[in-house]
């Protein structure tokens, strides 16, 4: 079940909005009677919100849901508020008028996420194994059974979750949240305000081998990975994602990059600022991706490529050449009923011949 604060901890709407930064609110329209300034215990969608919750409408196509919502307050676009204000019998909920309702929702959710956190002791749990030469700034929290290596430096306010293994010579910036069971190899560097989810492995060896037939026919000799991994500020990394260290130079993730779960980023990659990737994406080694790109789920980018800024890759697409022109790129075999697929897929192997036959017909 979603968050619902106890009634006595739920702030009145007017107080709650004062706590949200950014000047997003244009106007607060009181609701009817007991909802003139209702106490807000949580956030819900229009369909599921209860009378203790605030909701939001991002597009007029949801006006139907708005008409039936049980929420005591709703974040609305100015044009929607105009429509409501013109009604002879306006609905009873309070309205928060705002040009960016989705962003205001995000910030309210941040407030509730903060409000629901239990008070944490900013301590190093006695079961954690922290090297004597590690340097922990004030207010760093280290969870039970975490391991922190030699000479590692962790900046103020950062939380290290239970069971993490942080190697030697690692640096983690301030106010970061490293969830339980994250692994960082020696020498990895991460900026401030990172959020790293469980199961993430940062700085493991890249996949580098040289054919070495002196060992055996077809054998591979390991190329040790002497570079490291450097991650900027405000980066979030989803559960079980892996980012490898560089072969000679460092793998680099710039500020504001957002990575979903189970993403794999190979050695020597360079990911530009504010680029976002959905789950299960794979980026092969030595590829450079620009700023503000998006990569859809399970898409892949081949190695040694350069992808420019503001490029959007559709989910499931395999990128096999450089891209410089901003825009959206796609390559996915369309799904159909299996029998139809069989019939049409059988023709794929004859396409070159069919093209030739069409040319021949045209020449006749």
3-state secondary structure 207-267: CCEEECCCCCCCCEEECCCCCCEEECCCCEECCCCEEECCCCCCEEECCCCEECCCCEECC
What's the min distance (Å) between Cβ of 60 and its own copies?
Answer: 18
What's the min distance (Å) between Cβ of 87 and its own copies?
Answer: 27
User: Residue 90 or 249: which CB sits closer to its own copies?
Assistant: 249
| Annotated catalytic residue, options 59, 89, 197, 267 | 267
For residue 320, count other CB atoms closer than 10 A to its CB: 10
51 near its own copies (CB under 8 A): no
223 near its own copies (CB under 8 A): yes
Q: Residues binding its own copies: what is the number (CB under 8 A)?
A: 141
Exposure class string for 243-268: b at 16+ Cβ within 10 A, else e: bbbbbeebbbbbbbbbbbbbbbbbbb
What's the min distance (Å) between Cβ of 85 and its own copies?
Answer: 26
Give the list of residues 6+ apart from residue 119 with CB closer than 8 angstroms, or none.
none
Site string for its own copies, 177-206 (x = CB under 8 A): --xxx-x-x---------x-xxx-x--xx-
Pairing state between β 94-98 and 25-29:
antiparallel
What's the min distance (Å) between Cβ of 256 and its own copies?
Answer: 5
CA distance 47 to 71: 9
What's the min distance (Å) between Cβ of 271 and its own copies?
Answer: 13
Stretch that binds its own copies, among 8-16, 71-79, 86-94, 161-169 (CB under 8 A): 161-169
Among residues 10, 17, 43, 160, the one that binds its own copies under rule CB under 8 A: 43
2 near its own copies (CB under 8 A): yes
Q: Residue 203 belongs to what H/E stretch?
A: strand 201-204
Nearest CA to 298 out of 337, 342, 338, 330 is that of 330
Site string for its own copies, 124-143 (x = CB under 8 A): -x-x-x-------------x
CA distances from 179 to 1, 127, 306, 352 (A): 21, 17, 32, 53
Among residues 209, 304, 322, 324, the one that binds its own copies under rule CB under 8 A: 209
Stretch that binds its own copies, among 5-13, 64-72, 76-84, 111-119 (CB under 8 A): 111-119
Binders of its own copies among residues 326 to 355 (CB under 8 A) are: 327-338, 340-352, 354-355
CA distances from 79 to 58, 84, 93, 220 (A): 11, 9, 17, 65
Binders of its own copies among residues 269 to 308 (CB under 8 A) are: 273-274, 276, 278-280, 282, 284, 291-292, 297-298, 300, 302-303
Binders of its own copies among residues 235 to 264 (CB under 8 A) are: 236, 238-240, 242, 244, 246-250, 255-256, 258, 260-262, 264
User: Residue 80 or 273: which CB sits closer to its own copies?
Assistant: 273
210 near its own copies (CB under 8 A): yes
CA-derived radius of gyration, the chain: 26
270 is catalytic: no
What's the min distance (Å) between Cβ of 236 and its own copies?
Answer: 7
Residue the block writes with tokens 């407030």: 111
84 near its own copies (CB under 8 A): no
Q: Residue 338 belongs to what H/E stretch?
A: helix 338-348
Q: Which residues are catalytic?
A: 267
């Amino acid at each position: 079940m979603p968050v619902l604060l106890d009634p006595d901890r739920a702030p009145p709407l007017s107080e709650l909005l004062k706590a949200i930064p950014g000047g997003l609110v244009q106007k607060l329209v009181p609701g009817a009677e007991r909802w003139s300034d209702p106490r807000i215990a949580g956030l819900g969608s229009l369909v599921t919100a209860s009378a203790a919750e605030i909701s939001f409408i991002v597009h007029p196509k949801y006006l139907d849901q708005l008409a039936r919502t049980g929420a005591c307050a709703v974040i609305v676009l100015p044009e929607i508020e105009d429509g409501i204000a013109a009604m002879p019998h306006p609905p009873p909920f309070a309205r928060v008028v705002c040009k960016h309702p989705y962003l205001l929702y995000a910030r309210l959710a941040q407030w509730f996420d903060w409000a629901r956190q239990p008070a944490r002791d900013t301590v190093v749990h006695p079961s954690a194994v922290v090297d004597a030469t590690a340097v922990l700034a004030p207010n760093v929290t280290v969870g039970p059974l975490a391991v922190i290596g030699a000479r590692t430096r962790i900046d103020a306010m950062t939380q290290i979750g239970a069971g993490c293994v942080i190697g030697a010579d690692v640096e983690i910036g301030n106010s970061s949240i490293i969830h339980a069971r994250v692994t960082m190899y020696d020498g990895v560097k991460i900026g401030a305000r990172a959020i790293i989810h469980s199961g993430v492995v940062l700085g493991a060896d890249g996949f580098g081998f040289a054919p070495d037939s002196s060992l055996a026919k077809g054998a591979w000799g390991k190329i040790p990975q002497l570079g490291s991994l450097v991650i900027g500020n405000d980066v979030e990394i989803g559960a079980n994602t892996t980012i490898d260290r560089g072969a000679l130079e460092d793998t680099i993730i710039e500020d504001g990059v957002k990575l979903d779960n189970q993403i794999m980023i190979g050695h020597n990659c360079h990911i530009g600022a504010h680029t976002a990737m959905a789950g299960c994406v794979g980026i092969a080694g030595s590829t450079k991706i620009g700023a503000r790109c998006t990569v859809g789920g399970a898409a892949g980018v081949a190695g040694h490529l350069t992808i420019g800024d503001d490029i959007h890759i559709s989910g499931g697409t395999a990128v096999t050449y450089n891209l410089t022109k901003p825009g959206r790129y796609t390559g996915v075999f369309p799904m159909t009923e299996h029998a139809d697929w069989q019939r049409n897929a059988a023709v794929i192997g004859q396409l070159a011949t069919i093209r030739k036959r069409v040319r021949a017909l045209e020449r006749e």
